[in-house]
Amino acid sequence: MEKKIRHLLVEKELTIGNLAEKLEMSQANLSAQLKRDNFREQDLIKIAEVLGVRYEANFVLEDERKI
């Protein structure tokens, strides 16, 4: 998920500091979370919200169908 978040930051022309500010957290904490690639679903939903994108979680079956 870390790579996807970094990609979104590039797309939105934002820095980790900008995102941390929007999430009302320190840049150090967000950087550590990105480094560990450790996000709860509610974290991802909030990140999507502040970046103005839609978050979707899917289970994908072996035949590529999403549930």
What are the residue ranges spanned by the domains of the chain?
A: 2-51
Residue 37 pLDDT > 80, yes or no?
yes
Q: What is the largest CA-CA distance in the chain?
A: 41
Q: Which residues are CB-neighbours of 10 under 8 A, at least 6 positions away?
A: none
Say if CB 30 and CB 21 are below 8 A apart.
no
Query: Which pTM does this prediction carry?
Result: 0.83
Q: pLDDT, tens digit, for every residue of 5-16?
A: 999 999 999 999
Q: pLDDT, tens digit, for every residue of 21-35?
A: 999 999 999 999 999
